[in-house]
Structure formats: structure tokens, C-alpha cells
A = this chain, B = another copy of it.
Amino acid sequence: MKSARASAAASVSNLGPGYDVLGLCLDGPRDEVEVSLNMSGRLRIIQIEGDGGRLPWDATQNCATVAAQAVMARFGEPQMGLDLRLKKGLPLGSGLGSSAASAVAAAVATAALIAPDTPRIDLLNACREGERLATGSPHPDNVAPSLLGGLVACVPREGEAVDIVPLVVPDGLTVVTVKPNISVSTAEARAALPRQVAMADAVSNVAEMAALVTGLATGDYNLVGRSLGDRFATPYRKGFIAGYDEVVAAAVEAGAIGAGISGSGPTLFALCSHPSSAEAVVASMVAGFAAHGLESVAHVSGVDSVGARVEVVTG
């Protein structure tokens, strides 16, 4: 029986001024999906590992199978069926693109079986169907980096179309992520956002984005550090994360370029110019949360420029 295994990594979306726009692929934890092709005409989940029993087994309700189904619908034939195994490496609901990583790994594994020459970018919309299931909207800002690697800007076009624009990041850029022991649902985090923003705030984020893209492309870390401000989401979401301001300040004091909320939280990210500065930043952020009575789990990652990987194809 023909089968394929693929993996996809955690990502930081909503980076700085890039709410709903920027996503950064980490060389951190990865989800793995293995699919076996059959001619049953249906898609089944036959194994889920690492989710603590929290993910749905109904194939219409799981991001991974929904993305696989979308690949089948576009590139497969009606009689084709799949058995899917999902191994979660990412924590759920942490703001690191967990649903996106599962969707991407499933889409890439499925394509490796039935349409192996498909350019990665052509799998984007299938992956987005997983996000539509998870959040009600086909947000590209986690699936795009998880699929394609690197830092990307997702630019909305007509209807649901998006341009994915790869951005340059400096060599050595290191990302600390710290997840405090709080649960924030994406739905709750979305509901906290205003539907309108003041023109001055809108202009501010646009300007910060110009500066951030330029700072990253030229390796000007001072400029990057000054340009991670966000007036769209952070002011409304930081209240969900006890100690937010203090932990961000602690990260910068310990040598981080800047810090903010990863995705819709509660994980915070901090950017460091070099792996060597990450240790002090981790210690400082973890201590910051501890001062607010919160345990936290930290990771240090580089930027993954490859994105999803097909691990094995057999049969």
C-alpha cells in the first residue's frame, strides 16, 4: 500500500505590526502526518498521538483530514481514499500554529502520494481549509510559513486570494517562545479585537511594517527592535496574558531585539540576534511569568527556511 509521511513546523503569526499578515516558520516542534492511499473513496483517521485526547476523530472535524480532503478533491480521483495518522509535536491552542502545522503536514503528505510534482504554493488553499475549520476563516498566516518556510507576508487579494511574499531575515535570527500556563482560545482572542481602528493607529502599523521589513532585510536590529509595535491586536489581547508588559520588558532587558504575542497567544515570542543571547532571554521571561505565579515552557528556535518536509514515501 502506498503511503507517505510529512512534517510541518510551528510558526509565529501576527509578528509585531503584522496582524493577519506576517508568519515566521520555526525550526522548532513539528507535527507529523502519515497517509496511506486506498480505493475506499473515504478518508479515515486511524491514529492521533500527542494531543492528550483533545482532537476530534471525525474526519470532517479535524484540520488534518480537512486539508487532506481538499488536496484529494483538487488533485485526486473520486474513488481514492486515505487512512491518516497524526502525531502532534506542537502544543494545542498555544498560538504557535498547531492547527496549521497539522493541516500542512496532511496536505503535503497527501500530495506526495497523489500529485508529487505539485508546487508547494498550489497546496496553500487546501491547507487554508484546515484553518477555516479551526477558526471560521481561511487565514494564511500560519499555514503559509509552515508550508513554505521562512518569513512571509500574506497579502489579501480579490475574494479569498492571497499573495504570499517571502521576506528576508538576517542569518542567525533566533526566536525564543515562552508559553505560560494559561489557555486563550483563538475565538476569544478574535472576539476581543475591535472591528475598526483609528486612522492614526492604522497608519502606525503600516509605517512599522515598512520599517520592520527594511530592518530585517538589512540586518538593522535596532530598527527591527523599534518596529515591532502593534496597535491592532496586542493592546486588546495582552490583557489575557498576566504579566505581558513586564515579560516583554524583561526579554528586552535580557538582550532580546523585541518581543510580542505569538499568534493569538498565550505564547510570547522574543527575537534575538544570535543563539548565544537566547539563554538569558529565556531565563528572564520565565522568571517574569513566575513573578506572576505562572509556570511557563520555553523553546529556542532558528528560522526554518524550508517549510514542510516529505519524510518518507513507500509503495
Inter-chain contacts of A163 with B (CB < 8 A): 211, 223, 226-227
- Complex contact B165–A211 (CB within 8 A): yes
- Complex contact A232–B165 (CB within 8 A): no
Please give the count of copies of this chain that the complex contains.
2
- Complex contact A20–B203 (CB within 8 A): yes
Say yes or no: is A194 at the interface (Cβ < 8 Å to chain B).
yes
Quick check: which of A115-123, A124-132, A149-157, A260-268 contacts chain B, the rest being far away? A149-157
For A210, give the chain B residue with the smallest CB separation. Answer: B153
Cα distance, A137 to B208, chains bound together (Å): 20
- Complex contact B213–A214 (CB within 8 A): yes
Inter-chain contacts of A153 with B (CB < 8 A): 207, 210-211, 214
Min CB–CB distance A144 → chain B (angstroms):
12
Cα distance, A194 to B210, chains bound together (Å): 23
- Complex contact B194–A154 (CB within 8 A): no
Say yes or no: is A273 at the interface (Cβ < 8 Å to chain B).
no
Q: Which of A1-40 contact B (CB under 8 A)?
A: 17-22
Cα distance, A193 to B202, chains bound together (Å): 13
Min CB–CB distance A223 → chain B (angstroms):
7
Cα distance, A154 to B208, chains bound together (Å): 9
Inter-chain contacts of A201 with B (CB < 8 A): 202
Cα distance, A83 to B257, chains bound together (Å): 48
- Complex contact B165–A223 (CB within 8 A): yes
Q: Which of A133-192 contact B (CB under 8 A)?
A: 153-157, 163, 165-168
Inter-chain contacts of A157 with B (CB < 8 A): 226
Partner of A207, one of B156, B215, B217: B156
Cα distance, A281 to B194, chains bound together (Å): 42
- Complex contact B206–A199 (CB within 8 A): no
- Complex contact B213–A155 (CB within 8 A): no
For A164, give the chain B residue with the smallest CB separation. Answer: B211
For A217, give the chain B residue with the smallest CB separation. Answer: B217
Inter-chain contacts of A198 with B (CB < 8 A): 195-196
- Complex contact A207–B154 (CB within 8 A): yes
Say yes or no: is A278 at the interface (Cβ < 8 Å to chain B).
no
> Given that A155-B227, A196-B197 are known contacts, is A206 also in contact with B209, CB under 8 Å in the complex?
yes
- Complex contact A214–B18 (CB within 8 A): no
Say yes or no: is A98 at the interface (Cβ < 8 Å to chain B).
no
- Complex contact A199–B196 (CB within 8 A): yes
Partner of A211, one of B155, B196, B197, B208: B155
Cα distance, A163 to B232, chains bound together (Å): 20
New A-B pairs, 10, CB < 8 Å, besides A153-B214, A165-B223, A201-B202: A22-B210, A153-B207, A155-B210, A155-B211, A166-B214, A168-B214, A197-B199, A199-B232, A202-B202, A203-B232
